Structure 1
Amino acid sequence: MNVLIIEDDALTAKQLQKLLKNEKYSSDIATGYNDAKSYIDKYSYCLILLDWNLGDGDGLELLKEIREIQIDVPVLMLSANSEIDDRVEVLDSGADDYLCKPYSNIELLARMRVLLRKGSKEKSSLIRVANVTLNITTHQVFLNKEEINLTSAEFDLLELFMKNQNIVLTRYQLSEHINKDNYAIKQSNVIDVHIKNLRKKLQNKDFILNIRGVGYKITQSS
């Protein structure tokens, strides 16, 4: 389980990382607002520990930005602000929990376990590749924070690709996935048409790569 620690105080960050290591969590440290955005863009996390006051930005604004682009990873906000209004604002902005400093390590770890159990259930419905997020449950697709409209066949193809990152899928496999008519599977170029439309709607001709003579695939860096 990989945790992102967003904390501009180096000593506090290192203490948190040591605590998590002792509990068998792996973790990365982001030292501020911009550093955190870079980590979130590149890697996936099961939990984010987010300090409100960052040296180069505001943790609450970062939280709002994360939620706007449909990143649903559980977020535990850590802050010395203890006023009720502050806690309400944090939760309304998309945090899953709020813990006031100073806090006990026992309570922090307990709250992390609760969020990780919750997150493991919810995360299974979301697939994210680069700036594309697909929600299996709601049948929604987002490019950055903007929802895009796909046909049923386009959604099914995109879901198949995103569930099979780095795996080359043949035209036959793709056709079979959206069409049970054997004649249509063998004769139609409909897959090429759907992929052309998907590339256009995703505003990225390289999101779905053409593997000459074999089929298509996507990668995490698409």
Structure 2
Amino acid sequence: MHQVAIIEDDMDQARLVASWLKPYGYQASLFISAELFLQAFDEGKTFDLLLVDWMLPGISGIELMQHLAQFQNRPPSIFMTSLQQDDDLARALHSGADDFISKPLNKTIFLARTHAVTRRQQLSSSAQSAHLPFQLESTSFSLIYNNQRIKLTASEFRLMQLFSHSQGTLFSREELADSIWGDTQKAHEGRALDLLISRLRKKLQGLTPPLGELANHYGKGYTFEASHPIHESS
């Protein structure tokens, strides 16, 4: 059973979200403010996922994320907000959130994105502690290697996070699309995944000495084999 905190001042919305999640193994605790959540967090209450409204009374959702960023054991988080601009998405992710869902919430999209964030966290937690000679800097979406820094898009960054936690693991196209976008259909719709892989491979190939290989296993999926044992910074 996944423990999820829903931090939302609209209790009708919070209860609706909790009812959507319950059949999928999520037990929800509802908090009407960030202050009440922080009280529970400080008392040792643990959660597997945070669903955070951006516009909260008192401490805002962004301020809450910035506060939690100092804790190594902070759970993954998703913003729920009516804000929809690209700058808002960037601000949410840079504050430490793992994803951003626009209101009004669409049930299908909401559940898919929640599943994707939870799955990424499970892969991260279950992976063996590898030590590779590069860093993933989430505050700037950068990969740092051998005194070289390359800027990644949010999707490229998520892809490298996935591979860094599970190097050598073969991921199908559906698994990659699910983990990156929360939508397995993107594995076959257009060329979004192919273009993402191609752009990331090109950036990695520009590093010296070679960092590793992003390999396509025809008809099966992709693996990443690093040249050495991955560091990840927060």
Shorter-chain TM band: 0.5 to 0.7
Do residues 3 (structure 1) and 4 (structure 2) align? Answer: yes
Unpaired runs of at least 5, structure 2: 132-234
Partner amino acid, structure 2, of 1:47: L
3-state SS in 1 of match to 2:29: strand
Distance 1:109 1:78 in 2: 12
Number of corresponding residues: 129
Shift of 1:103: 2.2
Identity %: 28
3-state SS in 1 of match to 2:84: coil
Runs of 4+ in 1 over 6 A off after TM superposition: none
Shift of 1:10: 1.2
Shift of 1:137: 6.5
Aligned to 2:105: 103
3-state SS in 2 of match to 1:18: helix
Aligned to 1:87: 89
Aligned to 1:119: 121
Partner amino acid, structure 1, of 2:83: N
Partner amino acid, structure 1, of 2:121: G
3-state SS in 2 of match to 1:57: coil
Aligned to 2:213: none
TM-score computed with the length of structure 1 as normaliser: 0.54
Distance 1:109 1:76 in 2: 12
TM-score computed with the length of structure 2 as normaliser: 0.51
Partner amino acid, structure 2, of 1:59: G
Aligned to 2:61: 59
Aligned to 1:30: 31
Aligned to 1:20: 21
Distance 1:27 1:124 in 2: 23
Shift of 1:122: 2.2
3-state SS in 2 of match to 1:68: coil
Unpaired runs of at least 5, structure 1: 126-135, 139-222
Aligned to 1:154: none
Shift of 1:14: 1.1
Higher relative contact order (CA 8 A, sep 6+): 2
Give me the CA root mean square deviation: 2.0
Q: Which has the larger radius of gyration?
A: 1
Aligned to 1:198: none
